[in-house]
């Protein structure tokens, strides 16, 4: 069975011979792994079932600062992460209409579509990170975005509308391509619940998200959502608006048996091996045992993509990742 069909069947809540798996990784971890195993691409060596078409182009303007296509400048740290923290503010609430969104880089989009079409084995998804809330705070500042939700309830929906309009243009361009799903990244969760609470999520985020999901579903492609933190309060609403797969399932937050029993008939899960509190600290034997238990809990009757909860960072021992790979190959359905 090719990797792609395993993922498709799992999303359809069908048992497969093996639970499909995916390993995302930071550049530093990937480099360390490739050197250790003398391989060109770490994710291929780890037999990751998923590949991404990426719409991203950054320009380095200093040794530790890059600028994205929206004009946001990001300062990266020394912790092995790939993202960074914004150091400039592009818009404020009084000038939402003044901001000019960048033209679509059709050459970059065509390159992503070409790479996905050329992949014959893995499940292909177009990656749309900073879908709504994250794009708003990257442009406006996180503190300002949160305050403005409370202080400017009439003005703030407009920035979300404008971001949605821009994202819909991207989807209009790519959705005719040869791939299976669209991955939306938008972090709304803290360890204890939604950062802005359910009421503000419903007011500011759900309307645009619903439009984006509907656009994807209209082309018979899967909707995959990444959101860190505890967002169980809105699982039902995510299912209602068309979410097929939820990533990332943090085991330090969720009771895995509970969410599988309550939501597992309608929502597939992706993740569940913690990069926050487990993988950097555990031994390989413990990683293997925990991985097997997790696969047996979430993977029965499909509905699960086995994975770390986030991109692998350089503080995670390579042996632990190999233990995960052994575990997922050992659990046969």
82 pLDDT higher than 90: no
Average pLDDT over residues 64-89: 86
| Domain presence at residue 115 | yes
Q: How far apart are CA 135 and CA 159, in angstroms?
A: 10
The pLDDT value recorded for residue 292 is 98
If one counts the domains in the chain, the total is 1
Q: Is residue 79 situated within a structural domain?
A: no
- Residue 40 to residue 26: CA distance in whole angstroms: 15
- Could you tell me if residue 73 is inside a domain? no
pTM for the model: 0.95
Domain of residue 312: give its range.
Answer: 3-51+105-330
162-183 residue pLDDT tens: 999 999 999 999 999 999 999 9
What is the chain's mean pLDDT, rounded? 96
98 in a domain, yes or no?
A: no
Whether 78 has a pLDDT exceeding 90, the answer reads no
Say which CATH number the domain at 24 has.
3.20.20.210
- Digit-coded pLDDT (tens) for 7-66: 999 999 999 999 999 999 999 999 999 999 999 999 999 999 999 999 989 999 998 999
Q: What is the pLDDT of residue 327?
A: 98
80 band by pLDDT with thresholds 50, 70 and 90: low
| Buried/exposed code over 1-13 (b: 16+ C-beta within 10 A; e: otherwise) | eebbebbbbbbee
What is the per-residue pLDDT for 84? 84
Higher pLDDT, 115 or 56: 115
pLDDT at 215: 98
Q: Let me know if 159 is exposed, middle or buried by CB neighbors in 10 A (0-12, 13-18, 19+).
A: buried
For residue 77, the model assigns a pLDDT of: 81
Ordered alpha helix ranges (H), the chain: 3-11, 27-37, 42-45, 106-118, 133-140, 142-151, 156-174, 197-200, 206-217, 235-240, 256-263, 284-298, 318-330
pLDDT tens figures, 273-302 = 999 999 999 999 999 999 999 999 999 999
Q: What is the average pLDDT across 127-152?
A: 96
Q: Is residue 120 part of a domain?
A: yes
Q: What is the pLDDT of residues 192-239, one digit of tens each?
A: 999 999 999 999 999 999 999 999 999 999 999 999 999 999 999 999
pLDDT at 81: 62
Instruction: Please state, in angstroms and rounded to a whole number, the distance separating the CA atoms of residues 188 and 182.
Output: 18
* pLDDT over 70 percentage in the chain: 98
Residue 248 lies in a domain: yes
Least confident of 83-87, 96-100, 117-121, 317-321: 83-87
In a domain, 75, yes or no: no
Q: Looking at the domain assignment, is residue 194 inside a domain? A: yes
Q: Closest Cα to residue 43, out of 291, 287, 321?
A: 321
Mean local confidence (pLDDT), 230-250: 98
């Amino acid at each position: 069975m090719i990797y792609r069909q395993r993922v498709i069947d799992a999303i359809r809540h069908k048992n497969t011979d093996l639970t499909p798996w995916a390993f995302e990784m930071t550049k530093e971890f990937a480099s360390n792994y490739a050197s250790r195993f003398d391989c060109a691409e770490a994710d291929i060596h780890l037999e990751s079932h998923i590949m991404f078409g990426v719409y991203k182009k950054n320009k380095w303007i200093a040794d530790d600062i890059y600028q994205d296509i929206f004009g946001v400048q990001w300062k990266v740290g020394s912790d092995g992460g790939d993202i960074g923290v914004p150091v400039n503010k592009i818009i404020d609430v009084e000038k939402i209409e003044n901001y000019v969104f960048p033209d679509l880089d059709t050459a970059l989009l065509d390159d992503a579509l070409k790479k996905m079409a050329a992949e014959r084995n893995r499940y292909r998804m177009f990656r749309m990170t900073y879908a709504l809330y994250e794009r708003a705070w990257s442009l406006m500042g996180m503190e300002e975005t949160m305050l403005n939700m409370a202080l400017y309830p009439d003005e703030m929906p407009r920035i979300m509308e404008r971001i949605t309009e821009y994202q819909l243009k991207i989807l209009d361009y790519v959705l005719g391509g040869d791939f299976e799903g669209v991955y939306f990244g938008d972090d709304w969760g803290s360890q204890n619940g939604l950062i802005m609470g359910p009421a503000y999520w419903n007011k500011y985020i759900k309307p645009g998200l619903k439009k984006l999901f509907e656009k994807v579903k209209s082309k018979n492609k899967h909707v995959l959502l990444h959101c860190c933190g505890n967002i169980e309060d809105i699982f039902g609403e995510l299912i209602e608006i068309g979410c097929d797969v939820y990533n990332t399932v943090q085991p330090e937050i969720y009771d895995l048996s509970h969410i599988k029993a309550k939501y597992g008939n309608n929502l597939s899960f992706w993740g569940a091996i913690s990069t926050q509190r487990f993988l950097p600290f555990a031994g390989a034997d413990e990683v293997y045992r925990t991985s097997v238990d997790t696969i047996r809990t979430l993977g029965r009757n499909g509905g699960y993509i086995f994975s770390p909860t986030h991109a692998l960072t350089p503080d995670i021992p390579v042996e632990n990742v190999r233990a995960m790979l052994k575990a997922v190959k050992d659990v046969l359905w």
